[in-house]
């Protein structure tokens, strides 16, 4: 069993990952000028690559310049220069591992102070109680907007391949756009994209089909899917099982299981439902159930920090172990495991009762570590969550000013692309 973590994993596309440990996507929100990866982001991935991880999956790369999860989001569309992305891919592969780009559209999960568009399957806003006003009010997408968005995913995937990435992961979890279409709580449509699970899955399946057609057969295509939304009446494990089956017919190489959304942030260990293990491998019970019937290899992410937990995940039949926060605190954790060592630091826990605020503070703590690693410093996971959150808010304000100034110029450039 000890050997399995460090045995290669062959995928359907023909790619082979050198080991079973993946750096799962964390939203870095570290774009430089022009919403592009800059030297900081490139150095961060070089450091992770050197740490022994077999696969690096980038944080959200946005397919639509007018729809970002945060003002410092990286955008790869038809008008973006490829050179910074080529340098990013090269850094991610510098120690022999693979790098996939996670591609995403936030849908309705867009802050209310952001310019651009807030779209969703329906016009239902994010419900965070007293924090609901932090998000924009969505408009229900038209058939034309759905079609254009599917094409954007495909265009971003094709450009990721050109830049030298080994694959893409289509984000259909955590309450972002494709996940919103899957959820009966958010998707109230009565047309071809609403109602039955088959209709609610249509946009995701069309997106994967379009992505597969836009890239070469040897390029990896993965999907991140909620094992459940952790909300009563939401997308559940039976729905996930069926969607995985449909995805397997579209030559998907891997499905990563996670869970939750901004309304029920299970991915940070704070679900409004009791089915996640309290500390480690939050979604393992659901994954154990799904792996029995899955025709595609599964990856599990959520709260894994120790080698024994990672081995327990593999023993359950999961093919790949994803870690986020653990690698933000200890970027060389896989190399430590090879040498029989564990992490000697943990992130300071956030024990606030206000769940949305606690979730934002944990993400701010993680991002602070990422910026330290990118600068060549050691992580300092003991930082007080309130200090991390205040620092993050200051950076977000600066990034928002930059994004507001940049967006009109990008819209002109993309209009030019369309009229050629």
Domains and CATH numbers, the chain: 4-347 (3.20.20.70)
Q: How far apart are CA 300 and CA 283, in angstroms?
A: 7
Q: 46-92, pLDDT tens digit by residue?
A: 999 999 999 999 999 999 999 999 999 999 999 999 999 999 999 99
pLDDT band at 100 (very low <50, low <70, confident <90, very high): very high
What is the structure's pLDDT at 168? 98
Distance of CA 81 to the CA centre of its chain: 22
pLDDT band at 280 (very low <50, low <70, confident <90, very high): low
**Per-residue pLDDT for 228 more than 80?**
no
pLDDT band at 274 (very low <50, low <70, confident <90, very high): very low
Q: How far apart are CA 124 and CA 138, in angstroms?
A: 7
Under 8 Å CB-to-CB from 209, ≥6 apart: which residues? 250
Q: 284-333, pLDDT tens digit by residue?
A: 788 888 899 999 999 998 888 999 999 999 999 999 999 999 999 999 99
What is the structure's pLDDT at 284? 78
pLDDT band at 266 (very low <50, low <70, confident <90, very high): very low
Average pLDDT over residues 225-246: 80
**Per-residue pLDDT for 1 more than 50?**
no
**Per-residue pLDDT for 269 more than 60?**
no
Burial of 8 (0-12, 13-18, 19+ CB in 10 A): exposed
Average pLDDT over residues 7-30: 95
What is the structure's pLDDT at 275? 40
What is the structure's pLDDT at 152? 98
First to last CA, the chain: 57
Beta strands in 192-348 (DSSP E): 220-226, 254-258, 298-301, 320-323
Average pLDDT over residues 25-44: 95
pLDDT band at 227 (very low <50, low <70, confident <90, very high): confident
Q: 327-368, pLDDT tens digit by residue?
A: 999 999 999 999 999 999 889 989 998 888 888 899 999 999
**Per-residue pLDDT for 400 more than 90?**
yes
Per the prediction, the chain carries an average pLDDT of 90
Over pLDDT 70: what percentage of the chain?
A: 91
What is the structure's pLDDT at 303? 82
What is the structure's pLDDT at 281? 59
Q: Dig out the tokens for 224 from the structure.
A: 């991140």
């Amino acid at each position: 069993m000890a050997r399995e973590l460090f045995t290669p994993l062959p995928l359907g596309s023909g790619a082979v990952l050198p080991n079973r440990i993946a750096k799962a996507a964390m939203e870095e929100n570290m774009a430089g000028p022009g919403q592009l990866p800059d030297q900081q982001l490139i150095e961060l991935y070089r450091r992770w690559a050197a740490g022994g991880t077999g696969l690096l999956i980038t944080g959200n790369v946005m397919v639509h310049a007018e729809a970002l999860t945060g003002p410092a989001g990286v955008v790869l569309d038809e008008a973006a220069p490829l050179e910074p992305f080529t340098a990013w891919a090269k850094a991610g592969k510098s120690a022999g591992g693979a790098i996939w780009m996670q591609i995403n559209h936030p849908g309705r999960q867009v802050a209310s102070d952001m310019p651009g568009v807030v779209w969703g399957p329906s016009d239902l806003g994010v419900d965070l109680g007293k924090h609901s006003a932090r998000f924009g009010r969505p408009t229900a997408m038209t058939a034309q907007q759905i079609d254009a968005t599917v094409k954007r995913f495909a265009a971003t995937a094709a450009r990721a391949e050109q830049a030298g990435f080994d694959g893409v992961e289509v984000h259909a979890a955590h309450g972002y756009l494709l996940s919103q279409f899957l959820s009966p709580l958010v998707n109230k449509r009565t047309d071809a994209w609403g109602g039955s699970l088959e209709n609610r899955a249509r946009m995701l399946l069309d997106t994967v089909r379009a992505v597969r057609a836009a890239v070469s057969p040897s390029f990896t295509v993965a999907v991140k899917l909620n094992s459940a939304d952790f909300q009563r009446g939401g997308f559940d494990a039976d729905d996930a099982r069926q969607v995985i089956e449909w995805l397997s017919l579209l030559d998907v190489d891997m499905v990563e299981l996670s869970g939750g959304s901004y309304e029920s942030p299970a991915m940070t260990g704070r679900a409004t439902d009791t089915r996640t293990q309290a500390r480690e491998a939050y979604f393992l019970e659901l994954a154990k159930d799904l792996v029995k019937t899955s025709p595609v290899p599964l990856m599990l992410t959520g709260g894994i920090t120790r080698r024994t937990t990672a081995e327990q995940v593999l023993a359950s039949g999961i093919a790949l172990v994803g870690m986020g926060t653990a690698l933000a605190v200890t970027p060389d954790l896989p190399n430590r495991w090879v040498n029989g060592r564990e992490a000697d630091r943990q992130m300071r826990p956030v024990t606030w009762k206000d769940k949305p605020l606690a979730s934002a503070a944990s993400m701010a703590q993680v991002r602070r570590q990422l910026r330290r690693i990118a600068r060549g410093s050691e992580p300092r996971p003991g930082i007080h969550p309130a200090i991390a959150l205040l620092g993050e808010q200051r950076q977000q304000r600066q990034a928002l000013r930059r994004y507001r100034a940049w967006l009109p110029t990008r819209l002109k450039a993309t209009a030019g692309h369309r009229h050629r």
